[in-house]
Amino acid sequence: MTEFTRRQLLAAGSAAAALGLAGVRPAFSQASVDFAGKTVEWWMPFSEGGGSDVWARFFAPYLSKYLPGNPNVVVRNVPGGGSITGSNEFVARARPDGLAILGTSGSTQFPFLLGDPRVRYDYAKLIPVLVSPTGGVCYLPAKFEVKSPAELGKIKDQDLVYGSQGATSLDLVPMLAFRLLGLKVRHVFGMQGRGDGRLAFERGEATIDYQTSSAYLTNVTPLVEAGTAVPMFSWGILDAQGNVARDPTFPDLPHFVEAYEMMHGKKPSGVEYDAYLAFFGSGFAAQKPCMLPEGTSDDIVATYRKAFADAVADPELQKAKGDVLGDYTQAVGNDIEQLYKVATTIKPEARDWVRNFLDTEYQVKL
Amino acid sequence: MIDVFVTSLQNLLTLHHLSYMMIGVAIGLVVGILPALGGIAGMSLLLPFVYGMEPTAAIAMMVGLLAVIPTSDTFSCILMGIPGSSASQATVLDGFPLARKGEAARALSASFSASMIGGLFGALCLTAIVIVARPLILSFTSAELFMLAIFGLSMVGVLSGSSLAKGVAACALGLAFGAIGTAPANGGERMTFDSLYLMSGLEITIIGLGIFALPEVLDLLRGQASISSTGKLGRGWLAGVRDTWREKWLTLRCATIGACVGLMPGLGGSVSDWISYGHTVQSAKDKSQFGKGDIRGVIGPEAANNSCAGGNLIPTLLFGIPGSGSMAIFLAAMILIGLQPGPGMADPKRDLDLTYTVVWTLALANVVGTAACIALSPSIARLTTIRFVLFAPFMILIIVFGAFQSTRSFEDILALLVIALTGIFLKRFGWPRPAFLIGFVLAGQVETYFYQAVQFYGYGFPLRPIAVTIALVTIASLWFTSRSRQAPKEATVPGGITTDIDFEREEDETAAAKNLWPQAIFTIVTVGFFIFTIAEGAQNSFLDAVFPVSVGAVGLLTAAFVLFWQVRGATGRGPAGNVNFDLDDGASSGSLWRFVGWLVGFVIAIGLLGFTLALIGFFLTFLKVVAKSSWLQAAVLTAAAVGLVLVLTSILNMNLPGGLLQHYFYDQLVWPLR
C-alpha cells in the first residue's frame, strides 16, 4: 500500500499547487514586465564546465530570446562548498526583481534533503520555473551471464564492487538502489566523476556501474556491442502523475522498479523505498531546477514560465539540444510544481532512515 | 590509415580553421601573459562564444588557446616570480632568479624554445600513441597511479636543499595542507573548522601564489630598485636558444615525462611540472646553481608542461575524462557543440581524423605561439627594469586577483594571506618550498589511490607488474640521490646529510644565524601543527584518519628532530649544524614586516569596504607613502589598475569580493562597488 500513499501525497500536492496557481496567479499579466536593456544573472553554484554549467549556458540564449525585452542573460559561477556556498549566497543576496535566477543540481538538493546544518536555502520557498530531468543506465559485466534483471538473483551472494564519488554524492541513489535489490555491493569511494567509475569497470576493478544517458550511449554501447557489458535497467523517469516510467532514451530497457519486480516478483515498498524514491527524484527525474527567489511577484513568475515554455518549444533548441538535454521532456509552465516537489521533499521518517543508514554503514555524521 | 592522415591535414590547413586557431592563439597569449589567469580563465572566456559556433572552428579556437597558454604564462613566472598557472610553478624556481640577475632575455628565449620542442615532441608522441592509448591508459590502475605518486614524492630527496630532515618535514607539511577538506574515502571533514570554504580544500593556485609569489614580492620591496638587479635586460636571445639546443636531450626527456603524465587521467599538470624539475636537478652534474638561476631549471619544466597539455587531450577525447581544469571546460564546450568524446575518437572508421586534427592543431599553434612570444619578449621584459616600488602594487593586485579566481569569495584572499605568511617563514628559515609544493600537489593522489588500490586489489597491490617496475625506478632514483648527497667533507655535519643543492640561499653568504630562537619558534609552531593534524585526523573514521595521522607522525618526527638541533644551538649547548638557517638574522636591508603590514592592511580594507574601494585606497596610499609618487602619477597608476580589474571582471562576468559595507548596504550600491 505504501507506494500508493506516496502517489496520493503527490497528487494532493499537485492539486494544492494547481489551486494555488489558479487562485492567486493571473494567467497572463505580463504587459508590465519588461527586461529591455537589463542583465539577468543566472547563478550557478558550480564552476565552469560542469554538467549544470553546460545546462545553464545552453538555455541562456533561448531564455534571452523569449523574455520580454530580450535581456542579456549571463551565467555567474559561484563555486565552492559542494554548491552549498553559492546557493546560500543566492538566498541571502538575490532580490525578487526577476534579474537573478538560480540553477541547482542533485548535489545541491541532497544536503538539503539530508538536513545538512550548513544549508541555508529552502527549496519550499524558491519558485521553480524550469525542471530538467536526466537519466542513466545500470550495467554489469557479461561474465556474470546475467541477461536480464530477472536473473539478478544469480549474483545476489556475490561481492560486487562499485566505483563511487562518495556516500552523500549523487551516487547515493545507486547505493540505495543496490541495497533495495538485495545485491552485495562494496562501494569504493573517491572517484572524481562517473567517468572514473567507468574506467574502473573497463579495467575490471568495478563489477557494477551506471552511466548517465549520453555517456552510456557513447562509451558503454561499444562495450555492449563487443559483448563485454550487459545493460540491466535504467533509473526511469517520473511521469506527470509522479509514477516511475521507462526512460524515453531506452524504451526497451526496464526501469528500476520493473527490474525490482522481475527480480523479486513484487513491487518495492517500505521506508527504504520511500528514501530511494526521494533521492532518485532529486538526483535524476527532476535533477536540475531553475528557480526565482522567494517573494517574486506573480507576473514575473508567469513571464519566466512562459519564456521557458516557449524556449523549450523552439525548434532551434530542439535541434541543438543533443546530449545536453537528451530525449527528456523538460518540465515547464504549470506542470512544474509537482515534479519540483518530488525533487525537493522527503518524508521525515525516510530522511531519518537514510541519516541513520549513512551513519551506521559509512560513519557519515550529518 | 593514410586517408585518415590526409583528411586531418585537409581539415587543418584550411583558411577557416587556421584563422580560428589564430584567434585562440591571440586570446591565449593575452590570458597567459596576464599573471595568474591560466587556462581555466581563458577557456571560460571562450565558452560563451563557442556555443553556436561551427564545431571544427570552435575546436580550432579552443585548441589554439590551450596550446599557447603553457608557453605564454612563462612571462609572469620568469619576469615576476608569479606562477602563471599551477602547471608552471617550477619554472619560477630558476626563472625568476635569472631575471633578477638581469638575464631575463636568455631565460625567456630558452624557455620558449624548450616549450616549442616540448609541444611538438608531445604532438608527435600522441600521433603515434592514439591508437594504442586506450589499453595503455586502462593498464594504469589505481595501484600504478599510487606508485607514480610515490615516485613523485621521492623527488623530495632531490629538492630538499641543505637539510633532508627539513625537506621531509616541509613535504609532510604540504601533505597535511593537502589533507584539509573532505576526505576521499568516507567524506569526513578534516581541519575545516566547520567552514564551508575549507570543505573543498585549499586551491593549488592559492598555494602557488602564497608560497612563491608573495614572499618574493615582499622581499624585493625591501631593497631592490627593480626586478633586474642590474636594471638591464641583458643580452642573450640567441644564447637562450643555444642553451636549449645544448640541453636537447634534457628537453626531450622532460617532454616525454610531460606527455606520459598528461596521458594518465588524474595526475595533472603540476605533477608533471615537479617531476620533470626533480629529474632535471637529479640528472645534472653540477647542482650548485639550481634555485639561484640555472637555465636547465627553466628548460626542463617548460618542455614538460607543453607536452603535458597535449597528453591531457588523450584521456579527454578518448574517455571523456578531463585531465585538468581547462580540459574540463574543453570537454563541456565539446558537449555544447554536439560532440561527445568517447572511444570513437580513436577509431579510424569514425572520428580519428578529428583527433588528429586536434593534435596537429596543437602542434601548429605551439609554433605560432612561440614565434609570437619571442616577438613580444623584448618589450614585455622591460617590466623588469621598472622602478620596483611602482610595479609592486600591480603585482600584489594581480596575485590577489588571481587568488580569488578560485572560488570568487573573500575567503580566497584570507587563505592567500595565511599561506603567504607560511611561505615567508618557509623561505626565511630555509624550509624547502619545492618539497612543500610536491607534498601538497600529491596529497590527494597518494591518499585516494592508496585507498582505492587496497579496496580493489588488497594489500598485495604493489606486486602488480607495472607497479613493481615503477617501484624499481623509484628505488634507483633514490639511490642516485643519496649518492649525490654523500658529499664526504660534510658527512660529519650534525643534523643530517647535506648536499650542495640549496634552494633558499640566494647569495653565497652563509645564512647561519647567531640568534636561533626565531627559527626555533617557527619549528615549535610546525610541531604544534603536526600534533593538531594528528588530533584532528584521529577524530575521523578509520579510513579518513589513516592519511592525516601518518603524515602528521612523519612530520612530527622530522620537525622534532630539527627542533632538537635548533634548541641545542639556541641554548648554546652545541652547534646546530645545517638546520640553522635564517635569512633575516642581522639583515641590513630593513624589515619585511612593514610590507607584510601593507598587505594585511589591503586585505582588511577589502573586508571592510569591498575590493574596488580597497584597491583605490591601497594604490593611492602605497604610491604616495612608499613610492613617493606625485599625485598625478599616483592617480594615473591607480586608474590603470582599477581599469584593468574592471575590464577583466566584466569580461569574466564575476562579482568582486565584498566587505562589511557590501554586506549591509548591498542594495544601495551599484557595480563595481558591490
From B147's Cα to the closest Cα of chain A, the distance in A is 17
Whether B651 and chain A come into contact, CB under 8 Å, resolves to no
- Domain-terminating residue out of A235, A267, A299: A267
> Is there a cis peptide before residue B672, judged by omega within 30 degrees of 0?
yes
Cβ within 8 Å, pair B51-A61: yes
What is the mean pLDDT of the segment spanning A341-351? Answer: 92
DSSP-derived letter for residue B568 is: H
Cβ within 8 Å, pair A188-B320: no
- Per-residue confidence (pLDDT) for residue B479, from 0 to 100: 87
Longest dimension (CA), chain A: 64
Whether B672 and chain A come into contact, CB under 8 Å, resolves to no
Whether B653 and chain A come into contact, CB under 8 Å, resolves to yes
**How does pLDDT run across B8-17, given as a tens digit for each residue?**
888 888 888 9
Instruction: For chain A, give the secondary structure using H, E and C.
Output: CHHHHHHHHHHHHHHHHHHHHHHHCCCCCHHHCCCCCCEEEEEECCCCCCHHHHHHHHHHHHHHHHCCCCCEEEEEECCCHHHHHHHHHHHHHCCCCCCEEEECCHHHHHHHHHCCCCCCCCCCCCEEEEEECCCEEEEEEHHHCCCCHHHHHHHCCCEEEEECCCCCCCCHHHHHHHHHHCCEEEEECCCCCHHHHHHHHHCCCCCCEEEEHHHHHHHHHHHHHCCCEEEEEECCEECCCCCEECCCCCCCCCEHHHHHHHHHCCCCCCHHHHHHHHHHHHHHHCCEEEEECCCCCHHHHHHHHHHHHHHHHCHHHHHHCHHHHCCCCCECHHHHHHHHHHHHCCCHHHHHHHHHHHHHHHCCCC
Query: What does the alpha-carbon distance between residue B213 and residue B77 come to, in Å, rounded to a whole number?
Result: 9
User: Which cell is B616 given?
Assistant: 583605490
Q: Is the pLDDT of residue B504 over 70?
A: no
Q: Are residues A78 and A115 in the same domain?
A: yes
Non-local (6+) Cβ contacts of B520 within 8 A are: B563, B566, B567, B570
DSSP-derived 3-state class of residue B581:
coil
Identify which of B141, B322, B406 has the shortest CB distance to residue A205: B141
Whether B197 and chain A come into contact, CB under 8 Å, resolves to yes
User: Helix B465-485 to helix B269-283 angle, to the nearest 10 degrees?
Assistant: 50
- Determine, yes or no, domain membership for A362: no
Nearest Cα neighbor of B171 from B365, B395, B436 is: B436
- Per-residue confidence (pLDDT) for residue A20, from 0 to 100: 41
Cβ within 8 Å, pair B187-A189: yes
CATH number where A253 lies = 3.40.190.10
3-state helix vs strand vs coil in chain B, percent to 5:
75, 0, 25
B346 contacts on A by Cβ (under 8 Å): none
- Per-residue confidence (pLDDT) for residue B625, from 0 to 100: 92
- Determine, yes or no, domain membership for A77: yes
Q: Which of A130-144, B101-115, B172-186, B501-515 has the lowest mean pLDDT?
A: B501-515
Query: What does the alpha-carbon distance between residue B409 and residue B419 come to, in Å, rounded to a whole number?
Result: 16
pLDDT confidence of B486, banded at 50, 70, 90?
low
Amino acid at B358: V
Query: What does the alpha-carbon distance between residue A47 and residue B44 come to, in Å, rounded to a whole number?
Result: 10
A161 contacts on B by Cβ (under 8 Å): 455-456
DSSP-derived letter for residue B186 is: T
- Determine, yes or no, domain membership for A296: yes
- Determine, yes or no, domain membership for A361: no
- Per-residue confidence (pLDDT) for residue B100, from 0 to 100: 87
Q: Is the distance from CB of B251 to CB of B226 less than 8 angstroms?
A: no
Nearest Cα neighbor of B38 from B223, B197, B268 is: B268
Q: Are residues A158 and A261 in the same domain?
A: yes
Q: Which of B404-408, B441-445, B611-615 has the lowest mean pLDDT?
A: B404-408
DSSP-derived 3-state class of residue B182:
strand
Sign of the C-alpha dihedral, residues B607, B610, B613, B619? positive
Q: Which of A166-180, A207-221, B169-183, B225-239 has the lowest mean pLDDT?
A: B225-239
B340 contacts on A by Cβ (under 8 Å): 214-215, 217-218, 323
pLDDT confidence of B50, banded at 50, 70, 90?
confident
Q: Are residues A34 and A81 in the same domain?
A: yes
For residue A143, CA distances in Å to A101, A165, B450 come to 48, 25, 27
**How many Cβ atoms from other residues are within 10 Å of residue B191's Cβ?**
19
Most confident of the following: A8-17, A250-259, B37-46, B476-485: A250-259
Q: Are residues A301 and A243 in the same domain?
A: no
User: Which cell is B392 given?
Assistant: 609592486
Cβ within 8 Å, pair A49-B654: no
Cβ within 8 Å, pair B407-A219: no
Mean pLDDT of chain B: 86
Q: Which of A85-89, A156-160, B420-424, B482-486 has the lowest mean pLDDT?
A: B482-486
Query: What does the alpha-carbon distance between residue A102 and residue A91 come to, in Å, rounded to a whole number?
Result: 9
- Domain-terminating residue out of A210, A240, A267: A267
DSSP-derived 3-state class of residue B425:
helix
Identify which of A74, A76, A196 has the shortest CB distance to residue B321: A196
Cβ within 8 Å, pair B332-A53: yes
Instruction: For B98-165, give the secondary structure using H, E and C.
Output: HHHCCCHHHHHHHHHHHHHHHHHHHHHHHHHHHHHHHHHHHHCCHHHHHHHHHHHHHHHHCCCCCCHH
DSSP-derived 3-state class of residue B57:
helix
Q: What angle do CA B417, B422, B425 make, to 5 degrees?
A: 125
Q: What angle do CA B429, B434, B438 make, to 5 degrees?
A: 130
From B34's Cα to the closest Cα of chain A, the distance in A is 20
Q: Are residues A45 and A87 in the same domain?
A: yes
Q: Are residues A114 and A146 in the same domain?
A: no
Q: Are residues A259 and A157 in the same domain?
A: yes
Residue of B456, B656, B663, B665 best to disrupt the A interface, most CBs of A under 10 A: B456
Sign of the C-alpha dihedral, residues B494, B495, B498, B503? negative
Name residue, grid cell 580560428: B20
Size of interface A-B (CB pairs under 8 A): 156
Identify which of A48, A219, A362 has the shortest CB distance to residue B47: A48
DSSP-derived 3-state class of residue B189:
strand
- Per-residue confidence (pLDDT) for residue B234, from 0 to 100: 65
Q: Is the pLDDT of residue A159 over 50?
A: yes
- Per-residue confidence (pLDDT) for residue B507, from 0 to 100: 40
Query: What does the alpha-carbon distance between residue B257 and residue B311 come to, in Å, rounded to a whole number?
Result: 10
Cβ within 8 Å, pair A95-B344: no
B138 contacts on A by Cβ (under 8 Å): 199, 202-203
Q: Is the pLDDT of residue A11 over 50?
A: no
Q: Is the pLDDT of residue B520 over 80?
A: yes
Q: Is the pLDDT of residue B501 over 50?
A: no
Mean pLDDT of chain A: 89
Cβ within 8 Å, pair B320-A219: yes
DSSP-derived 3-state class of residue B572:
coil
Q: Which of A5-14, B348-357, B396-405, B481-490 has the lowest mean pLDDT?
A: A5-14
pLDDT confidence of A26, banded at 50, 70, 90?
very low
Q: Are residues A122 and A195 in the same domain?
A: no
Q: Are residues A163 and A251 in the same domain?
A: yes
Provide the number of structural domains found in chain A: 2
**How does pLDDT run across A169-228, given as a tens digit for each residue?**
999 999 999 999 999 999 999 898 899 999 999 999 999 999 999 899 989 999 999 999
Identify which of A49, A77, A364 has the shortest CB distance to residue B328: A49
- Per-residue confidence (pLDDT) for residue B587, from 0 to 100: 52
Nearest Cα neighbor of B380 from B31, B88, B34 is: B34
- Per-residue confidence (pLDDT) for residue B224, from 0 to 100: 66
- Find, in chain B, the residue whose alpha carbon is nearest to that of A75: B653
Give Cα B214 to chain centroid, integer Å.
13
Give the residue, B616 or A31, on which the prediction is more confident.
Answer: B616
DSSP-derived 3-state class of residue B36:
coil
Query: What does the alpha-carbon distance between residue B603 and residue B611 come to, in Å, rounded to a whole number?
Result: 9
Nearest Cα neighbor of B427 from B561, B622, B587, B269 is: B587
**How does pLDDT run across A274-304, given as a tens digit for each residue?**
999 999 999 999 999 999 999 999 999 999 9
**How many Cβ atoms from other residues are within 10 Å of residue B154's Cβ?**
19
Q: Which of A17-31, B212-226, B438-452, B552-566 has the lowest mean pLDDT?
A: A17-31
Q: Are residues A251 and A323 in the same domain?
A: no
Side-chain-side CA neighbours of B593 within 13 Å: the count stands at: 2
- Per-residue confidence (pLDDT) for residue A342, from 0 to 100: 85
CATH number where A346 lies = 3.40.190.150
Cβ within 8 Å, pair A323-B340: yes
- Per-residue confidence (pLDDT) for residue B499, from 0 to 100: 40
Q: Which domain holds residue A110?
A: 2-132+286-352
pLDDT confidence of B511, banded at 50, 70, 90?
low
Q: Are residues A325 and A259 in the same domain?
A: no
Non-local (6+) Cβ contacts of A158 within 8 A are: A144, A184
Residues in chain A: 366
Cβ within 8 Å, pair B319-A198: yes
Give the residue, B371 or B485, on which the prediction is more confident.
Answer: B371
Residues in chain B: 674
**How does pLDDT run across A75-115, given as a tens digit for each residue?**
988 888 889 999 999 999 899 999 999 999 999 999 999 99
User: Which cell is A216 given?
Assistant: 552510456
A215 contacts on B by Cβ (under 8 Å): 320, 340, 342
pTM recorded for the entire structure? 0.88
Q: Are residues A141 and A87 in the same domain?
A: no
Helix (H) or strand (E) holding B190: strand B189-190
Cβ within 8 Å, pair A49-B332: yes
Cβ within 8 Å, pair A81-B343: no
Whether B47 and chain A come into contact, CB under 8 Å, resolves to yes
Give Cα B491 to chain centroid, integer Å.
33
Query: What does the alpha-carbon distance between residue B259 and residue B245 come to, in Å, rounded to a whole number?
Result: 20
B positions 448-507 inside 8 Å of A (CB): 448, 451-452, 455-457
Percent of all residues in chain B with a pLDDT value above 90, rounded to a whole number:
42
- Determine, yes or no, domain membership for A11: yes
Work out the end-to-end distance of chain B between its first and last CA atoms, rounded to an integer number of angstroms: 57
What is the mean pLDDT of the segment spanning B483-511? Answer: 47
Cβ within 8 Å, pair A49-B408: no
What is the mean pLDDT of the segment spanning B257-282? Answer: 88
Cβ within 8 Å, pair B182-A186: no
A362 contacts on B by Cβ (under 8 Å): 186-187, 541
- Domain-terminating residue out of A236, A267, A298: A267
A205 contacts on B by Cβ (under 8 Å): 141-142, 456-457
- Find, in chain B, the residue whose alpha carbon is nearest to that of A195: B321
From A188's Cα to the closest Cα of chain B, the distance in A is 6
Q: Dump the DSSP string for B453-510.
A: HHHHHGGGGGGSHHHHHHHHHHHHHHHHHHHHH--GGGTT-TTS---S--SS--SSS-
**How does pLDDT run across B141-152, given as a tens digit for each residue?**
999 999 999 999
Q: Is the pLDDT of residue B505 over 60?
A: no
For residue A326, CA distances in Å to A135, A249, B186, B310 come to 9, 8, 32, 30
Give Cα B579 to chain centroid, integer Å.
27
For residue A301, CA distances in Å to A40, A289, A315, B447, B661 come to 14, 14, 24, 48, 31
- Per-residue confidence (pLDDT) for residue B229, from 0 to 100: 73
Which phi and psi (to 5°) does residue A281 adopt? Answer: -60, -45
DSSP-derived 3-state class of residue B222:
coil
Which phi and psi (to 5°) does residue A212 adopt? Answer: -65, 160
